[in-house]
Amino acid sequence: MEQNLEAITFTIDGVEVQGMPGQTILEAAEEAGIYVPRLCQLKGITPHGSCRVCTVKVGGSWTCAACTQPIYEGMEVDNSSEEIQTLRKDLVEMLFTEGNHYCMFCDKSGNCELQAMAYRMGIMAPKYPYIYPEAELDASHPDLFIDRNRCILCARCVNTAQEQDGKSVFDFAGRGPHKKIIVNGEKLSDTQLAAADKAADACPVGAILPKKGAYAKPVGARDYDDAPIGSDIEAKVCK
């Protein structure tokens, strides 16, 4: 087979991988059947690099977000060392303690990417103290509600609304521990958000949910009941 001269060759955990110019580490890894954990990245929208759960080490010296870092010839990527896995685990644990997550009765349970990531990483209870922030719930919209208690500030709703729905519904306000998601109006019902919008389904957790059809998927039929998050990507190497 004639080799594609445009392909870029690099390694992930010592395994040779090929990608195309312009691809990020995460994109090339996914095509090769290598899972890089992520929460803010979503296919079809511009990578945001906000959650940092996809952090990798390059060249044994510097860390970066795999969802935004382009590949280059000879790049050496550490995706699974103890150091990197510990860093990611700490980030996920902090996401739990910085919000008010009610997994036991959240209707996103079993379909929640944050919850699934915690299970994959073996997190049963965060080691950090809970902050218990005061967060608002906006149920003014006839079809949807937004619960900021569960928001992880991933920006999926912001970017999806802008890039795929053509609407400026969501944005951020504040900095540091005071940062929160806001809407383009006094309340959610004042915005152009529709239940059929892609932004309404972009949330990886239970921060944006429909009012109708709660708990529609029974236990056993939910996204992560049978296999851990990322299994669909890892299955590619078996095909």
Whether residue 233 lies inside any domain: the answer is no
Same domain, 53 and 97: no
Same domain, 72 and 113: no
Same domain, 57 and 166: no
**β partners of residue 64:** 56
pLDDT of the chain, 239 residues: tens digit per residue: 455 568 999 999 999 999 999 999 999 999 999 999 999 999 999 998 999 999 999 999 999 999 999 999 999 999 999 999 999 999 999 999 999 999 998 999 999 999 999 999 999 999 999 999 999 999 999 999 999 999 999 999 999 999 999 999 999 999 988 999 999 999 999 999 999 999 999 999 999 999 988 888 899 999 999 999 999 999 876 55
Whether residue 109 lies inside any domain: the answer is yes
| Per-residue pLDDT at 236 | 74
Residue with tokens 């036991």: 104
Per the structure, the complete domain to which residue 126 belongs is given by 90-210
Q: What is the CATH number of the domain that holds 75?
A: 3.10.20.740
Both ends of the chain: CA-CA distance in Å?
A: 19
| Per-residue pLDDT at 216 | 87
Q: What is the CATH number of the domain that holds 203?
A: 3.30.70.20
Same domain, 109 and 196: yes
The Cα–Cα gap between 233 and 227 comes to: 11
Of 198, 127, 128, the closest CA to residue 169 belongs to: 198
Same domain, 114 and 173: yes
Same domain, 63 and 104: no
Whether residue 153 lies inside any domain: the answer is yes
Tokens of 172: 């951020």
Q: Phi and psi dihedrals of 171, rounded to 5?
A: -165, 180
Whether residue 220 lies inside any domain: the answer is no
Same domain, 119 and 49: no
Tally of domains within the chain: 2
H-helix or E-strand spanning residue 31: helix 25-31
Contact at 8 Å (CB) between 156 and 43?
no
Same domain, 110 and 179: yes
Same domain, 98 and 127: yes
What is the number of other CB atoms lying within 10 angstroms of the CB of residue 69?
21
Residues 73-83 have pLDDT tens digits of: 999 999 999 99
The Cα–Cα gap between 150 and 120 comes to: 19
| Per-residue pLDDT at 1 | 40
